[in-house]
Structure 1
Amino acid sequence: MFCPFCGQDLGTVQVFCHSCGKNVQFLAQAEDNSSASNSPTEEDLIRKYFHAGYSNNEILDFLGTIHNVKLSLHSLIYKLKSFSLSREKNYTSLDVVRTAIEQELKGPGQHYGYRLMWQTLRQKYGMTVKRDDVMALIRELDPSGIELRSRRRFVRRVYSSDGPNHVWHIDGYDKLKPFGLAISGCIDGYSRKVLWLVCQASNNDPGVIAQNYLKCVSERGIVPMRLRTDCGTENGMMVAVHCALRSSHMDDFAGAASHIYGSSTANQRIESWWSYFRKQRSQFWMDLMNDLKERHLFSGSHEHTCLVRFVFMDVLQRDLDECRERWNTHTIRPVKQSRCPSGKPDVMYYLSHRFGGTDCGFPVTPEELSHFRTESACSPCGDNHLQARFEDLQRRSGLMKPLNWESCVDNYINLKNMAGTADWKA
């Protein structure tokens, strides 16, 4: 033990420090309290296990097995009586129970049923109360929670948006990435209109993602109020461009506040759409690519993924354009988990006044966009050398550009066989 005033080693604690003369008796009291707190008394142990809801025999077993405290059942019952611990007497006042339940209902306890609430009152608050009384109080204080629990339904968050271009949700789709086909998409949160759906050699290149954003903004002449993306580094350049374009505005979300980082699972609009996309479109392409793999026509090597891009990318992009057009012109049914209108995405986006919405975007001029030109040096297949090699093979063989997935498969097999294992590095 050391003196807190001069740092002198005191040895055994005394009333006064023999070096500086300060009163250090409080150290002895603190040491006693510490030792007492480190070794709970028999009463503390009995109270702990009693309020945890254990039976008398279980309490005896805990005391003997863990704490080496030997008691008979008669002695335990006597001690419980002396500590005023009873399961059927000395019930807590219902007013006190009501106050505790009201406190629990303000936090995570609002999802408790009456059994868990009864256990919480016993263990957390040390109350003795009947389960029927707890059930009656919860029925009185939280009728809506009882209804939801009886229907076994979660309370879900409701998505809300003021109008088109209020929030753009952007994300990459990686299900076809093992085969060299990376997809990037963006959807408007209010109308659910898909603004872009692009297949490229990479959706991890910040320059490529920024190009998609600038192209969309240039075509529409509008910059959205806010962007929502995950925390991937591929979004950094796009976010910087967006925040720069919004820096001159005077609204609450101008500048850096115009972008929202979050987890992919929380980016609900685009993640929900990817689920639809897989069921309606991408599953076919995944099965097609897996079939090539199972036939030992695709190994996952750099050369094979580049060849897949060279042959399949244009046809896949046409399919993506068709998917986007079909989605933007179909009718979305109303749902309870959204305050946004229902209808056709194109109609809700361009004619938002019909649904009580207002366009939240900000006009942007070509002059403003001219400061943010980004170019990608990467070829469509992802490798300039292999791109030239495949073009030369296609020209020499007289193969026509594929128009559908069947001709894509034929061209892929023919070009792969023509290149041969020894010619990949030629």
Structure 2
Amino acid sequence: MEEELDLIEQYFNKGHTYSVILEMLSSHHEIHISIGTLKSRLKDLGLQRRGGFSSLNAVRRAISSELLGPGQLFGYRTMWITLKQKHGLRVKRETVMRMLRQLNPRGTLLRARRRFIRRTYHSMGPNYLWHVDGYDKLKPFGFAISGCIDGFSRRIMWLKCGPTNNNPEVIKNNFIDCIRSVGVVPMKLRTDCGTENGDMAAVQCTLRHHHSDYHAGARSHLFGSSTSNQRIESWWSLFRKQRGQFWMELFGDLRDKGLFNGTHEHLCLLRFCFMGILQADLDECVQLWNSHRIRPSRHALCPGGIPDELYSLPHRFGSRDCGFAVEEASLTIFQEGPLNEDPCGDPDIHEYLEQAMQQGLQQPHTWQAATELYITQKNIAGL
């Protein structure tokens, strides 16, 4: 009973409708209840669609805290879903829009709408085509990001940060870990022509070689230019506006103040202090993105909706899951074991920094604390 209530509260807070909550419970947890029982459970939990709004002071404090970090790049819709899912606040979107105009007028002005002419995108369903690419805007500061998005649902399949995204073994392991998590291999995989994608392409084609559809075997992977990999490239643009720009400016300020010069030692130290914080921010970004609602677009034949719903319940949108089930034994032969890559990127420097941490320093949990740790470690090392 307690597990059932926790699941209901979790799905409700993600913004799912009653019918979706019932189907999620039935499909994924073998919990079969009526809509009347669901409403009764929600009443017991004190959850309701209308009313029960949080105080304006609590909302203002939460928005102010978000504006200290990547949240300064959010529009009012993204901020609204963040307040609801991350801070557990109930507030009208109009209220969030007014507060953002007051608290962040410059950001509101910079997010003026612009129109672009786009190609029409088509996908048969979830797991029909995965788009994989690396994000290099933070590479000058030592952080390489690898990401994958499902073309139909626009669900982020993985978003990983590390010392490199050019190592084929790293990209391959990200791919295998994702397949293991969702239990299927996509019908097609699309990447650019970088050598880091070679091992992943080989795994994809091998896992699909015994299937009989038109896209089986070698046809299941597509090499192409970055500009043609439109789903992930388009998402990187959104990522920069909502997250990446904050980190670029933060690290750029360290460089402008003479605290970072791009040498190997400085790169390793910056990674040591910020890698965990940046990955946590990426995880939060994925969670919020996969739970927000995408409006229908005339530039794509894919329906609008919430990425998690589009991916998990494609039949509700007139589609089907296009993936192919894969067994664990089939994946084990490709993955010898986890890579022994420390976040720092240099075992010797990592060991030295770990020893310095034993002098009473604390692992950071915020970007402010990570900045202070970076400056402290830099002074200890005499860099």
Matched, 1:334 2:296: yes
For these two proteins, the number of residue pairs brought into alignment is 268
Match of 2:275 in 1: 313
Aligned to 2:185: 223
Aligned residue among 323, 331, 334 for 1:369: 331
What SS is found at the alignment partner of 2:214? coil
Q: 1:381 deviation in Å?
A: 1.2
Q: Which amino acid aligns with 1:388?
A: E
Q: Match for 1:386: what amino acid?
A: I
Which of 384, 389, 406 matches 2:347? Answer: 384
**How far, CA to CA, are the matches of 2:131 and 2:198 in structure 1?**
15
What TM-score, normalized to structure 1? 0.62
Q: What SS does the aligned partner of 1:251 have?
A: coil
Equivalent position amino acid for 2:372 in 1 = D
* Inter-partner Cα distance in structure 1 for 2:271 and 2:196: 20
User: Are 2:136 and 1:170 equivalent residues in the alignment?
Assistant: no
Asked if 1:408 is matched to 2:378, the reply is no
Cα distance in 2, alignment partners of residues 376 and 164 from structure 1:
29
Q: Say if 1:255 and 1:403 are closer, same or farther in 2 by CA, change over 3 A.
A: same
**1:160 to 1:368, Cα distance in 2 relative to 1, 3 A:** same
1:176-255 aligned within 5 A: 176-255=138-217
Matched, 1:258 2:216: no
Inter-partner Cα distance in structure 1 for 2:117 and 2:374: 50
What are structure 1's unaligned runs of at least 5 residues?
A: 1-152, 422-426
Say whether 1:301 aligns with 2:263.
yes
- Tell me if 1:283 matches 2:261: no
Taking the aligned partners of 1:154 and 1:355, their CA distance within structure 2 comes to 26
Q: Determine the C-alpha separation between the residues in 2 that align with 1:267 and 1:356.
A: 25
Q: 1:308 to 1:373 in 2, by over 3 A?
A: same
User: Which has the higher Rg, Structure 1 or Structure 2?
Assistant: 1
Deviations 1:253-300 (A, max 9, x none): 111100011000110000000010000011110000000000100000
Quote how far apart the aligned CAs of 1:154 are: 9.4
- Three-state SS of the structure 2 residue aligned to 1:343 is coil
Aligned Cα root-mean-square deviation (Å) = 1.3
Q: What are the Cα deviations for residues 177-202 of structure 1, in whole angstroms up to 9, with x where unaligned?
A: 10001101000000000010111110
Question: Counterpart in 1 of 2:24?
Answer: none
After TM superposition, the runs of 4+ consecutive aligned structure 1 residues lying more than 4 A away are 153-156
Q: CA separation in 2, counterparts of 1:296 and 1:259? A: 45
Q: Tell me, what secondary structure is at the counterpart of 2:212?
A: coil
DSSP-derived class of the 1:265 partner:
helix
Identity of aligned residues (%): 56
SS in 1 for 2:146: strand
Cα distance, 1:155 vs structure 2: 7.6
Alpha-carbon distance in 2 for matches of 1:330, 1:383: 38
Per-residue deviation, residues 70-111 of structure 1 (Å, max 9, x unmatched): xxxxxxxxxxxxxxxxxxxxxxxxxxxxxxxxxxxxxxxxxx
CA drift at 1:329: 0.6
CA distance in 1, matches of 2:303, 2:356: 52
* Cα pair distance change 1:222/1:280, threshold 3 Å: same
The TM-score, its normalising length taken from structure 2, stands at 0.69
1 or 2 for the larger relative contact order (CA 8 Å, sep ≥6)?
2
The one-letter amino acid paired with 2:325 is: P
Q: Which moved more, 1:372-381 or 1:336-345?
A: 372-381
- Structure 2: distance between partners of 1:183 and 1:241: 21
> Which of 296, 299, 313 is equivalent to 1:351?
313
How far, CA to CA, are the matches of 2:212 and 2:296 in structure 1? 34
